[in-house]
Amino acid sequence: MLMEKERNEIVEYGKKLVTEHLTKGTGGNISIYDPEQGTMAISPSGIDYFDTKPEDVVVMKLDGTIVEGNRKPSSEHDLHIALYEKKPDVRAVVHTHSMFCTVLGVNNMDLKAVHYVLADAGTPSVPLAPYVTYGTRELADAVANTIGDSYACLMKNHGMIACGKNVASAFSLASNCEWVAEIQWRCLCCGTPNILSDAEMAKVLHKFQSYGQAPEKK
């Protein structure tokens, strides 16, 4: 089976989308890209995350050709393809209909630095792409043209998308964006949120580059 490890990861993280309340039903989708093979593994369209098996995950090229898999790929495969084309360092994309990111997008708001954790997106704020019908190349282009230097983007009246160097980091960014979006929403409900300055976020971005455990000494 082609991309077996990646297909297993997509099954595993698909379940996490539901258990960690980042999506409802079959909403959202996940892909992983292998630049050496030039192939992308992506969730199948419309199959319950808890019924999806590795063989249901579709392997396709970035030109849209299906290389392996009997299922239809996610209706948003063009969205994933557009992001791999736009950001050559990205290896995984997570798209969700998470509640608070969607709420902000419906209100025509981008995601602001109400908490320093938003620096995980690589930019001081996360932009909002205009509304375009789901599953279209036009939507894919709208998101790719809006995301800029960020690794996440809200999608008006739809949801959000997060990119990463692997599926764990893309998923973690989607989760962090949702947490920050909930804080922004809660703060807007009872006052005027204080937004961290771009200069402060630049400091945090710098610190995030060396965050975590130092690499093991060989």
* Positions marked active-site: 76
In Å, how far are 1, 52, 76, 167, 173 from 49, measured between CA atoms? 20, 5, 16, 16, 20
With residue 160 as reference, give the H or E element that holds it: strand 159-164
Asked if residues 129 and 112 have their Cβ atoms less than 8 Å apart, the reply is: no
What is the CB-side half-sphere exposure of residue 153 using CA atoms within 13 A?
A: 23
Q: Which residues have C-beta within 8 Å of that of residue 190, sequence separation ≥ 6? A: none
Asked if residues 118 and 126 have their Cβ atoms less than 8 Å apart, the reply is: yes
Q: Which residues have C-beta within 8 Å of that of residue 65, sequence separation ≥ 6? A: none
Axis-axis angle for helices 167-190, 99-106 (nearest 10): 60
